[in-house]
Amino acid sequence: MLNMGLCRTVCSVIFALFLAGSALATECPELRIEAPDSLALAAARVRSFDRTRLVSAMRLVGLEAPGPPIRVILAPEGSDAARTAPEWATGYAYGQAGIVVMIPSRTYAYPYGSLEALLHHEVAHVLIARAAGGHPVPRWFNEGLAMAAARTWDFEDRTRLVLELLPGVRVNFMEVDSLFEQGQGQVNRAYALSGAFVRDLLQRQGIDFPARVLSLVRQGASFEGAFSRAAGMSLKVAEASFFRRQNIWNRWVPFLTSSLTLWMGITLLALYAVKKRRQKDARKKKDWEAEEETIDPPNFDIN
């Protein structure tokens, strides 16, 4: 298990270096920001974001050129664009049309966490559509790849995966797509599973795996056929392997040994100590009051 942990660490470092290096030599996607006056500040923030990370997303999906400019529409609550999405949705993309819609007031919902992460996630959907030549790919692959392109795998992702797999239920990933069409709880579940599986594929199949799959899809192969050729195994076998490795060791050790979990444990211990101390002080005070009631006050005769 130690070797596997070391392997994953090395793969993560190589992945980060690959994306960082690729961002130095390729043209950035052009973004055309559109926003009403009420969202002028949000639009200014979006324009200030570092677009080189979008080049990393291009390289991840196998694009050499970014393609036409991407329209990024910032939609206020109550607008037609915002009402098109469920009330919990933070944004969406029309991949083939090259359009991204973001709702800044909802930015901090999982799996984004920031306006910048949301932008990268939705732009990644456009880049995925271009890399696939407009051919369809499963929603779980699309969303999981966008998550990998937009941000790192963090504590919340690991926590959600641990909780999702606690019952030991295995979900067919072709069925995960339907979860994205349900309520927010099921959507979060779908994101957690999709992000974990795609990241696992990147670690085990290589950082060029998505590019290989999307290239074959662009050439006319079905997604299942492209996946099998790129991975050397069927999607069903890859799923079974993924879930088989999500045993108690793989699930709980990274969770329990993370720095955030450590500090949470220290904080809880400190709060417990404070509580016990206050209870002890309260008992002492109560004992002192009881002792005072049993002692007769002195009788001073001033006559």
The pLDDT value given to residue 249: 44
Residues 294 and 141: their CA atoms lie apart, in Å, by: 76
Residues 175 and 210: their CA atoms lie apart, in Å, by: 20
Q: How many CB atoms lie within 10 A of CB 28?
A: 14
The pLDDT value given to residue 133: 96
Per-residue pLDDT of the chain (303 residues; tens, 9 = 90+): 445 445 544 455 445 444 444 444 468 999 999 999 999 999 999 999 988 889 999 999 999 999 999 999 999 999 999 999 988 889 999 999 999 999 998 876 666 778 998 999 999 999 999 999 999 999 999 999 999 988 665 556 566 566 666 555 667 778 889 989 888 888 888 888 899 899 999 999 999 999 999 999 999 999 999 999 999 999 999 999 988 877 644 444 454 445 544 455 555 565 666 666 677 666 766 666 665 555 554 453 434
The tokens of 89 are what?
């949705």
Q: Which of 126, 128, 112, 98 is nearest to 188 (CA)?
A: 112
* Chain center to CA of 257: 20
User: Which contacts (CB < 8 Å, 24+ apart) does range 244-250 have?
Assistant: 245/200, 246/161, 246/165, 249/1
The dihedral through the CA atoms of 147, 149, 152, 158 has a sign that is positive
DSSP codes, 199-252: HHHHHHH-TTHHHHHHHHHHTT--HHHHHHHHHSS-HHHHHHHHHHH-SHHHHH
The pLDDT value given to residue 192: 87
The pLDDT value given to residue 188: 85
The pLDDT value given to residue 150: 84
Question: Which domains are assigned to the chain?
Answer: 2-246 (1.10.390)
Q: Would you say 182 and 29 are in contact if contact means Cβ atoms under 8 Å apart? A: no
Residues 24 and 90: their CA atoms lie apart, in Å, by: 30
The bridge status of strand 99-102 relative to strand 70-74 is parallel
